[in-house]
Amino acid sequence: MNPDLTVNIGRLTMQNPVMPASGCFGYGEEYAPFFDLSRLGAIVVKGTTAEPCSGNHPVRLAETPAGLLNAIGLQNPGVKAAREKIRELAHCGVPVIVNVAGHSAEDYLRVIDFLEEEEEAAAYEVNISCPNVSAGGMAFGTEPCVVESLVGNLRRSTKKTLIVKLSPNVTDITEIARAAESAGADAVSLINTLLGMAIDTATRRPVLANITGGLSGPAIKPVALRMVWQVSSAVKIPVIGMGGITGARDALEFLLAGASAVAIGAANFTNPMVCPETVDGIADYLSENGFESVSRIVGLAKESLRPVTGGVCGCGKK
Amino acid sequence: MPQMKVMYIKEHTLVAPDIRRMVLDDSIYARPGQFVQISVSPTLDPFLRRPLSVHDDGEGGLVLLYRASGRGTRLLAEKKPGDSVDILGPLGNGFPVTDAPAAILVAGGIGVAPLCYLARTLCEAGKQVIFLFGAQKADQLYIPKAITPFLTVLETATDDGSAGHHGPVTEVLEQFLQKGAVPVYGCGPEGMLRAMVRVAAQYYAQTYVSLEARMACGVGACLGCVVETFQNSGEAYQRVCVDGPVFSGEEVFR
Ligand SMILES: Cc1cc2nc3c(=O)[nH]c(=O)nc-3n(C[C@H](O)[C@H](O)[C@H](O)COP(=O)(O)OP(=O)(O)OC[C@H]3O[C@@H](n4cnc5c(N)ncnc54)[C@H](O)[C@@H]3O)c2cc1C
Ligand SMILES: Cc1cc2nc3c(=O)[nH]c(=O)nc-3n(C[C@H](O)[C@H](O)[C@H](O)COP(=O)(O)O)c2cc1C
Ligand code: FES
């Protein structure tokens, strides 16, 4: 029997737990030549702002060991033009999750107000964690009280599923996750990119025009996995895990750590087929190991252990 | 439509210092000026694919010409005939072909790679091809013998005077533009392309330049490879991987 891959996040039902991560899949059309997009659990589109945003100057990318630094700076056509692309994308039949970004609480509200009546925008992922914009972005995501008030505001403005995307660039990510939960978020997603940089020894200058950028790819997977483990113990709402996933093995680690669903970012760039391959790989694993549904393995790695509530201190001891 | 394809290496030869020619066993039906994203390693590091121009394509298979410069291209250089490579392509817009009966192609260094395929295509379309090739020194002036029958004129230039004209290739370009303003296609270092566009503008010649940028996806999804362009509507960022890599000269150089 085929295992049941269905996942529920708030009011959103996904046919499987795999979605491309925000900013790594365009508006879907770029990857449509490679596979049937209807195979995905959901599609998360690029960070969308109220007004068009031109983004950062190039150079915007730097390859690093087993990873990638980016400083795109939220380039997007603004919510009005994005709406057309979202309508187009929704034809493929899977839920479209709109990643919402802004420089102020009003900005976020404007995006949500604009899309609230759009059936095609199935859910919002609120990006309070982008490291590449000077005002707002990550600034919202690092203070629990600011997160609580922002998410509370958004909660009152929407009936749709509200996912809050967390920054790893904080002292204690569980605090932020709890703030989002208590303000009414339906789920949290993590992690966004880790702040980093690279220097060109030939020119003796930073590679990125923005100086710093966000690190993604396999290099960040252990950090992301640890944070998903901690956050899924700290909150009751579902967790969407991401960071360095390159296939089913990685995705299964996140599910076993406590994520209800996973997102795949940078790996799409090296393997455009990574999302459907991951769906198949998860299904195979469940069948081979006798699990009737994906929900059966969520957080399973914790079951044999005593509950971990605190973090791990710097010396590696609990 | 781009595809992801595993192909096998038929030939892989060192044709000039650090420059290799790789012939693959299959075609991707590319147009001149398009490129591929090639995976240089099956492991997670180096993580990204590398963009390489289509040097030739057709029944003989896809051909790449590249300089082993950094870690990724040096890993590629280790591959042997019979080994497989994972190719994503064809990508990008390619060079436009105009109605003009002749064209000048200006290559700088390894920028020669996409222009050979363009030269063949233009010649087969019945056009005269004036091929100007500049490099630092003589040993970097690699031009495949199979291409020369397609060229009406082949002129070279070197920075050190070890072959052809002693000086920038754009000085040779000027001599030809004086005889008639025809479309000019360029690929090479940014400095050369800028000079090329400036010289051509004096003769009201249309220019097309193929640009390089650091890329992640190569398909337009990540917005990482942008270049600033100047258009009627003002300045805007365009993606080198899908809106380019070929831009009209005045669009990108001011
Ligand atoms: C559209 C396009 C077509 C190209 N065609 C050719 C070709 O036909 N032959 C050829 O020899 N070279 C070509 N290049 C340049 C080639 O992509 C780089 O030389 C190569 O990526 C360097 O990789 P590396 O690992 O050896 O260098 P590293 O410096 O180790 O690379 C580190 C990172 O920077 C990127 N990078 C470094 N230099 C360049 C560059 N010049 N352009 C773009 N990205 C770069 C790499 O892709 C990688 O992500 C082309 C570039 C573009 C954008
Ligand atoms: C090029 C690029 C652009 C991104 N843009 C966004 C964005 O607009 N909004 C957002 O919330 N996250 C964005 N991210 C972060 C990813 O969605 C994801 O959280 C992160 O890259 C970690 O996953 P990965 O290692 O699988 O890439 C971007 C990442 C990359 C590499
Ligand atoms: S390389 Fe991703 S948009 Fe061009």
Residue A132 reports pLDDT greater than 60: no
> Which pLDDT tens digit goes with each residue over A153-177?
999 999 999 999 999 999 999 999 9
CB pairs under 8 A between A and B: 97
What are the residue boundaries of the structural domains of chain B, listed by start?
Answer: 3-91, 102-210
Partner residue opposite B48 with nearest CB, options A23, A269, A272: A269
Which protein residue's CA is at the shortest distance from atom 6 of ligand 2? A23
Q: Quick one: pLDDT at residue B201?
A: 96
pTM (predicted TM-score): 0.95
Note whether B25 and B83 are within 8 A (CB).
no
B90 touches chain A (CB under 8 A): no
Nearest CA-CA distance, residue B88 and chain A, Å: 9
Are A63 and B46 an interchain contact pair (Cβ–Cβ within 8 Å)?
yes
Residue type, B236: A
Residues ≥6 apart with Cβ < 8 Å to A105:
A149, A150, A153
Judged by a CB distance cut-off of 8 A, whether residue A67 touches chain B is yes
Residue B172 and residue B186 in contact, taking contact as beta carbons nearer than 8 Å: no
Per-residue pLDDT tens, chain B, 254 aa: give them.
899 999 999 999 999 999 999 999 999 999 999 999 999 999 999 999 999 999 999 999 999 999 999 999 999 999 999 999 999 999 999 999 999 999 999 999 999 999 999 999 999 999 999 999 999 999 999 988 889 999 999 999 999 999 999 999 999 999 999 998 899 999 999 999 999 999 999 999 999 999 999 999 999 999 999 999 987 766 789 999 999 999 999 999 98
CB contact under 8 A, A269 and B2: no
Can you give the pLDDT at residue B181?
87
User: What is the set of active-site residues of A?
Assistant: 130
- At residue A105 the predicted structure's pLDDT band, cuts being 50, 70 and 90, is confident
How far is the alpha carbon of A254 from chain B, nearest alpha carbon, in Å? 18
Residue A249 falls in which region: left (phi positive, over 0), alpha (psi -120 to 50) or beta:
alpha
Ligand nearest to the CA of B216: 3
List chain A residues with CB under 8 Å of B226. Answer: 55, 58, 60, 75
How far A82 CA lies from chain B's nearest CA (Å)?
14
Residue A70: band (very low, low, confident or very high) from pLDDT cuts 50, 70, 90: very high
A217–chain B Cβ distance below 8 A for any pair: yes
Q: How many CA atoms lie within 13 A of A314 on its CB side?
A: 1
Q: For A106-120, A122-136, B233-247, which range has the lowest pLDDT when averaged over its residues?
A: A122-136
CA B128 / ligand 2 centre spacing (Å): 48
Strands in B83-187 per DSSP E: 84-91, 102-108, 128-135, 153-158, 165-166, 184-187
Q: At what angle are helices A173-182 and A221-234 packed, to 10 degrees?
A: 40
A62 and chain B in contact, CB less than 8 A: yes
Check whether A313 has a pLDDT greater than 70: no
Which ligand 3 atom is the nearest neighbour of the CA of B225?
Answer: 4
Nearest residue CA, atom 28 of ligand 2?
A23
Predicted pLDDT of residue A310:
53
Contacts of B220 in chain A (CB under 8 A): 26, 30
A218 touches chain B (CB under 8 A): yes
Query: How confident is residue A306, by pLDDT bands cut at 50, 70 and 90?
Result: low
CATH class belonging to B102-210:
alpha beta
Q: What pLDDT is attached to residue B114? A: 98
Hey, is A197 helix, strand or coil?
Answer: strand
- Indicate whether A138 pLDDT > 70: no
Atom of ligand 1 nearest to the CA of B241: 1
Q: Of 3.30.70.270, 3.60.15.10, 3.65.10.10, 2.40.30.10, which CATH number belongs to B3-91? A: 2.40.30.10
- Find the ligand nearest to A18 CA: 2
Q: Given an 8 Å threshold on Cβ–Cβ distance, is A60 in contact with B44?
A: no
- Closest residue CA from atom 29 of ligand 2: A23
- Angle (CA) B102 B125 B87, round 5°: 110
Q: Is some CB atom of chain A closer than 8 A to the CB atom of B73?
A: no
Q: Which of A165, A275, A281 is nearest to A224 (CA)?
A: A165
Q: Tell me the C-alpha to C-alpha distance, in Å, between residue A313 and each of A119, A174, A235, A318.
A: 45, 14, 20, 6
Measuring CA to CA, how many Å separate B112 from each of B68, B147, B177?
A: 15, 11, 20
CB contact under 8 A, A269 and B39: no
Does A200 lie at the interface with B, CB-CB under 8 angstroms?
no
Give pLDDT, residue A318.
44
Chain A residue nearest residue B220, CA to CA: A30
Residue A20 near residue B219, CB atoms below 8 Å:
no
- Cα separation of A283 and A275, whole Å? 13
pLDDT in tens, A262-290: 999 999 999 999 999 999 999 999 999 99
Nearest by CB to residue A25, choosing from B2, B213, B221, is B221
Task: Closest CB to A66: pick one of B44, B213, B215.
Answer: B44
| Residues A11-57: tens digit of each pLDDT | 999 999 999 999 999 999 999 999 999 999 999 999 999 999 999 99
Contacts of B242 in chain A (CB under 8 A): 30
pLDDT digits (tens, 9 = 90+) for A197-237: 999 999 999 999 999 999 999 999 999 999 999 999 999 99
Chain B residues close to A25, C-beta within 8 Å: 221
Q: Which domains does chain A have, with CATH numbers?
A: 7-303 (3.20.20.70)
What's the CA gap between A6 and A258, in Å, rounded? 16
> How high does pLDDT run on average in chain A?
93
